[in-house]
Chains A and B, each alone.
Chain A
Amino acid sequence: MRRFRFRRHSLLPGFGPALGYTLLYLGLLVLLPLGGAVLKAAGLSWADFWRLVSGPRAAAAFRLSFLAAFGAALINAVFGFIAAWVLVRYTFPGRRFIDALVDLPFALPTSVAGIALTALFSRNGWIGALLEPLGIRVAFTPLGVLVALVFIGLPFTIRTVQPVIADLDREAELAAASLGASAWQTFRRITLPAVLPAVLTGFALAFARGIGEYGSVIFISGNLPLRTEIVPLLIVTRLEQYDYAGATALAVAMLALSFVMLLTINSLQAWSRRRR
């Protein structure tokens, strides 16, 4: 009831100073530097910009970053949904522990994650040794990039989908079942449509994070130009070579991508809220 009541203009004190400080801090720390970078790139001609972001090395890096981020987000959407479902609907020993652990990729420094994943998936690592006889190599291959991005993106789907599953109307499922729907039909026609916006939001969040990820990837990928080099690493390489124009062009392309993802995510979230 209360949610739909008209929100009154609040007469609480302190709005001006609080908003002013917020804008000042945000402006100085975020908007000014970001704007500066964009202006810097604006110094480049369109042809130069295009050459810098579409050269063979840059193109290969974009392709890898894109595909790996997409693949990892997809894997996380599927398995993250299953995991969220299991964590909400079923009880089993250790559930709380595992639920707490889901946030680990948010909290673990990415360089730590990077060396841990590398050790795990290297040829004599705990998992790598199991995959080696199957002819599957993860570390220092594009597959390694994928694995790192799955780790980094793992919490996003789970944490966006979990509350939606918890809020699902169990009675709607029971009603569907009482109307003769099979378990699968109930899932496909009742549950999935309700959860889908959240899954897509989680997918987009994981994808956006994966595109820009640096620390966890650079250890496991091997960083071979044209093969396992991701865009953020290429930016760092250009910076280290004092190729500021090249780095700026790539960074601005990434910023534009982030912005598009941000808009996508915002509208997905708005859609998700409406559906709930």
Chain B
Amino acid sequence: MNPFRPPIRPVPLLLTLVALLFLLGFLALPLAIVFAGALQQGIKHYLAAISDPMALAAIRLTLLAAAIAVPLNVIFGLAAAWAIGKFRFPGRQLLITLIDLPFSVSPVVSGMVYILVFGMQGWLGGWLAARGVQVIFAVPGIVLATLFVTLPLVARELIPLMESQGTEEEEAALTLGASGWQTFRRVTLPNVRQGLLYGVILCTARAMGEFGAVSVVSGHIRGLTNTLTLHVEILYNEYQSAAAFAVASLLALLAVVPLVVKAILSRHEH
């Protein structure tokens, strides 16, 4: 398009090549090999692997965990962003750091702290077991671990957004007679809808893709406490490589959704 194309200079060319080699080698190849591995034994095998009853049970549990974790974390994210983004108060910075905490904790440790609280040796485990409630090595544990690791995602998208938008539009709504709830619903929420959408997508992808924390609390009971990511591990360890990659390809597709949405959103901005 540019008729005055600058001459090709050696340094930018070299840097571009290095960067491309690095990025493609570490990003594109792993993604490609997932799909190559999934189809290595043909499409029939692929379909069989993802429609296997154990795979379907894993899909159901994964969806269930996400269906509980995402709405709860959306409500949390909105509340946290409203308090932190629109107000100034002492300890505000500390609160932001605390919200980020699940990101800085090893997933294994996140899962383990729930074992220490709800496990048979834990603080509440015995009391709960006496009442017939099992948390660890059961679905509630998986949901809790998922909640923990995805907790910051929505809040993190919304806090900077709400902060940057300031409070003037909300104040304008108040002077026009709107109630607090009307102001939030009609002014604040529409203004952050893109960030909210992206946060929800990220949160969903992460909720369905979490491995370490869920692995620790699940107990790997097939058909009962197996999520998709755990199912991948089991298949892989049983040397069912094609089946493992087939299930992994579903998760990889899921992971690509937020990337595509983000690319589209950022294009809209320009």
Total A-B pairs in contact (CB under 8 Å)?
286
Task: Report the bound CA distance from A94 to B174 in whole Å.
Answer: 47
B96 (CB) vs chain A CBs: closest residue: A266
Task: Report the bound CA distance from A175 to B104 in whole Å.
Answer: 41
Given contacts A14-B184, A86-B16, A262-B97, contact A212 B109 (CB under 8 A): yes
Given contacts A104-B27, A104-B255, contact A14 B151 (CB under 8 A): no
Given contacts A18-B79, A26-B99, A115-B244, contact A90 B26 (CB under 8 A): no
Given contacts A90-B16, A100-B263, A236-B216, contact A107 B255 (CB under 8 A): yes
Distance of A29 from chain B, by nearest CB (Å): 6
Task: Report the bound CA distance from A186 to B248 in whole Å.
Answer: 47
Please report which residues of chain A, range 26-74, place their CB below 8 angstroms from some CB of chain B when the two chains form the complex.
26, 29-34, 36-37, 40
Contact: A215 with B109, CB < 8 Å?
no
Contact: B232 with A98, CB < 8 Å?
no
> A225 within 8 Å of B by Cβ?
no
Interface string of A174-213 (1 = CB under 8 A from B): 0000000001000000000000000000000000100111
Contact: B180 with A104, CB < 8 Å?
no
> A140 within 8 Å of B by Cβ?
no
The segment from A4-12, A131-139, A164-172 that touches chain B is: A4-12
> A120 within 8 Å of B by Cβ?
yes
Task: Report the bound CA distance from A95 to B80 in whole Å.
Answer: 35
Task: Report the bound CA distance from A115 to B236 in whole Å.
Answer: 8
**Prevailing SS type, chain B contact patch:** helix
A interface bracket (residues with beta carbon within 8 Å of B): 35 or more
Partner of A37, one of B34, B37, B112, B262: B112
Q: Which B residues lie within 8 Å of A21 (CB)? A: 75-76, 79
Distance of B242 from chain A, by nearest CB (Å): 11
Contact: A82 with B236, CB < 8 Å?
no
Contact: A83 with B148, CB < 8 Å?
no
Distance of A146 from chain B, by nearest CB (Å): 12
Q: A22-B80, A111-B232 are in contact. List 9 more A-B contacts (CB 8 A).
A: A11-B171, A22-B95, A79-B22, A85-B15, A86-B12, A109-B229, A212-B104, A244-B115, A244-B119
Please name 5 pairs of A and B residues whose Cβ atoms are closer than 8 Å in the assembled complex, sorted by A: A13-B174, A31-B98, A108-B251, A108-B252, A117-B30
